[in-house]
Amino acid sequence: MAQVSPTFSPLYRQIKSLILQALEAGEWRPGEAIPSETELAGRFSVSQGTVRKAIDEMASENLLVRRQGKGTFVATHSDPRAFFRFLRLVPLNGGIEQSRSVPLECWRAKAGPEAARVLGLKLGDPITIVRRVLQFSTKPVVVDEIYLPGETFAGLSLEVLNEYQGSLYSLFESRFGVRMIRATERIRAVAADRSTADLLKVREGSPLLSVERISYTYGDRPVEWRRGLYSTAEHCYLNDLG
Binding site for a copy of itself (CB under 8 A): 60-62, 85-86, 88, 182-191, 205-209, 213, 230, 232, 236-242
| HSE-up of residue 56 (Cα within 13 Å, Cβ side) | 8
Name which of 2 and 241 has its Cβ closer to a copy of itself.
Answer: 241
State the CB neighbour count (10 A cutoff) for residue 139.
14
| HSE-up of residue 137 (Cα within 13 Å, Cβ side) | 7
Name which of 55 and 106 has its Cβ closer to a copy of itself.
Answer: 55
18, 44 in Cβ contact below 8 A? yes
Distance between CA atoms of residues 53 and 116, nearest Å: 38
Residue 98 lies near DNA (rule: CB under 7 A) = no
Of 36, 137, 162, 195, the one binding DNA by CB under 7 A? 36
172, 183 in Cβ contact below 8 A? no
Distance between CA atoms of residues 117 and 127, nearest Å: 12
Residue type (1 letter), 65: V
Q: CB of 198: closest distance to a copy of itself in angstroms? A: 18
Distance between CA atoms of residues 37 and 48, nearest Å: 6
Residue 66 lies near DNA (rule: CB under 7 A) = yes
Considering just the CA atoms, what is the radius of gyration of the chain in Å? 21
Name which of 48 and 210 has its Cβ closer to DNA.
Answer: 48
Q: Choose the one of DNA, a copy of itself, none that binds residue 70, judging by a C-beta under 5 to 8 angstroms depending on kind.
A: DNA
Of 20, 22, 28, 71, the one binding DNA by CB under 7 A? 71
Site mask for DNA (CB under 7 A), range 3-32, x = bound: x-x--x-xxxx-------------------
Of 23, 30, 58, 72, the one binding DNA by CB under 7 A? 72
| HSE-up of residue 84 (Cα within 13 Å, Cβ side) | 10
Q: Choose the one of a copy of itself, DNA, none that binds residue 52, judging by a C-beta under 5 to 8 angstroms depending on kind.
A: DNA
What three-state secondary structure class fits 143? strand
Name which of 67 and 188 has its Cβ closer to a copy of itself.
Answer: 188
Of 7, 60, 68, 165, the one binding DNA by CB under 7 A? 68
Residue 37 lies near DNA (rule: CB under 7 A) = yes
57, 16 in Cβ contact below 8 A? yes
Q: What is the contact surface with DNA in residues (CB under 7 A)? A: 3, 5, 8, 10-13, 34, 36-39, 46-50, 52-53, 66-72
